[in-house]
Amino acid sequence: MKKNIQIILLCLVPLTLIYFLFLQHSNNNERELETLVEQLQIKNDSLKQSNELLDIQIALQKAIADSLSKEIQITNGVIKKLKNVRYERIRAIDSMGSNKLLEFFARFESTGTDN
C-alpha cells in the first residue's frame, strides 16, 4: 500500500506541476491579450478622432469648392457680357465711315461727308 501511495504521488506531483505551469502560462497569455486589446482600443479611438477631423476638413473643402464654382460661373458671365460689348463696339466701329472714325479715335469733330 505504501508503494502505491508513492507511485500515485510520483504521478500526481508532475501532473500538478504541469497544471500550475499551464495555468501560469494561460494567465500570462490572458494578460498579454488584455494589454493588446487595450492598446488596439486606444489606437482605434485615435483613428476615429482622426477620421472625424478629416470629415470636417472634407466638408470645409467641399464648401470652398462649391463657392469657387459659383464664383467661376459669375466670372464667366461677366466675361461673356464683356465679349458681347466688345463685339458690339467692333461692329459699330466697322460700320463707321472715315470721318466718323476720325471723330471716334481722335475725339475730333468733322463736318465733312463720308465717301
Amino acid at position 16, single letter: T
pLDDT, position 45: 92
- DSSP conformation class of 107: -
Q: What is the mean pLDDT of the chain?
A: 83
Q: Can you read off the three cell numbers belonging to residue 100? A: 466718323
Taking the C-alpha atoms of residue 1 and residue 50, their distance in angstroms, rounded to an integer, is: 72
Percent of residues, the chain, with pLDDT higher than 90: 45
Grid cell 461673356 in the structure block, residue: 80
Taking the C-alpha atoms of residue 71 and residue 47, their distance in angstroms, rounded to an integer, is: 36
In the predicted model, what is the mean pLDDT of residues 31-39?
87
Taking the C-alpha atoms of residue 115 and residue 98, their distance in angstroms, rounded to an integer, is: 8
* pLDDT band of 99, cuts 50, 70, 90: confident
Amino acid at position 107, single letter: R
Q: Please state whether the predicted TM-score (pTM) of the whole model is above 0.85.
A: no
Burial status of residue 99 (CB atoms within 10 A of its CB: 0-12, 13-18, 19 or more) = middle
pLDDT, position 18: 75
* pLDDT band of 10, cuts 50, 70, 90: low
